[in-house]
Amino acid sequence: MPATRAADGTRVFYDTFGKADGEPLVLIMGLAIDRWGWIRQRAMLAKHFRCISIDNRGAGLSDKPTGGYDLFTMAGDVESVMDAEGIDSAHVVGYSLGGVLAQVLAVRAPERVRSLVLASTACRIKDWRREVLSDWVQLVEARGARAFSQENLRWVAAARHMRWIAPLAPAFAPLFVRAPAHGITGQIQALAGITEQVHEELLGVDIDTLVIVGSQDILTPVADSEEIAHLIKGARLQVISGAAHGAVVTDAAVFNRAIESFLQEQVSAQV
């Protein structure tokens, strides 16, 4: 599996799959989840794109430095991967924390982004969400990554999914959250550090963008996606009825149709 070194020497691992001659597509996962969080999108995306799926620092095979991380540094990790693959620009899909990193990339290096999909994400940290992140840090530090992965299902799954997800949680939640405790807290601290600067600079972003969110998302509610769609010129908003924060997994069929249609439209427009 290929890897590159970020500006500070951190090794960032990533996976490549799909059409070798397809347009490049960068996939950025959410908090504490590695590249396999895209498991339900891989087959669909592989048909059309040259895909690059990144293990963010703190998760997967990538290095996991101790201490808090920084959003701009993590977005720089994405650029390092693109440089290693010889990619000047790419379509970028970001989920949750990955959606924040995709926004940072669009703000600081818009020339590298052909189009954006921002899924289940936000452009700023409101006070109530900052309190949630603080509670998560305390949970991870006190009880570890396994407790974090199991007890936070209520934030990612809608009530209609919990009946079948909850019994499986002890076995499967740790398979999705495979980051160590200090990697999780490092990423949380990066997420908590999102500034009003990013929020304000989205007004200057002129990139074709799809903002997608579940109607039952309580971690990044529909209002957060509405805000992003309002700020980015010409952005579209799609709400998946009945889905929660984990729509990328629990409602993958609808999610996949939406992003496939959008991305294929972007490819056709650029021919």
> Which DSSP string do the residues of 50-70 spell out, in sequence order?
EEEEE--TTSTTS---SS---
pLDDT in tens, 67-104: 989 999 999 999 999 999 999 999 999 999 999 999 99
> Measured at the alpha carbon of residue 76, what is the angle toward residues 71 and 80, in degrees to the nearest 5?
150
The values of phi and psi at residue 210, to 5°, are: -110, 125
By C-alpha distance, which of 123, 7, 9 is closest to 76?
Answer: 7
Longest dimension (CA), the chain: 53
pLDDT in tens, 164-192: 455 544 544 554 566 899 999 999 999 98
Q: How many residues in the chain? A: 271
Strand partners of residue 52: 16, 26
pLDDT in tens, 102-121: 999 999 999 999 999 999 99
CA 59: distance to chain centroid? Answer: 13
Pick the more confident residue, 98 or 250. 98
- For residues 124 and 196, is the Cβ–Cβ distance under 8 A? yes
**CATH superfamily for domain 3-270:** Alpha/Beta hydrolase fold, catalytic domain (3.40.50.1820)
Can you give the residue ranges of every domain in the chain? 3-270
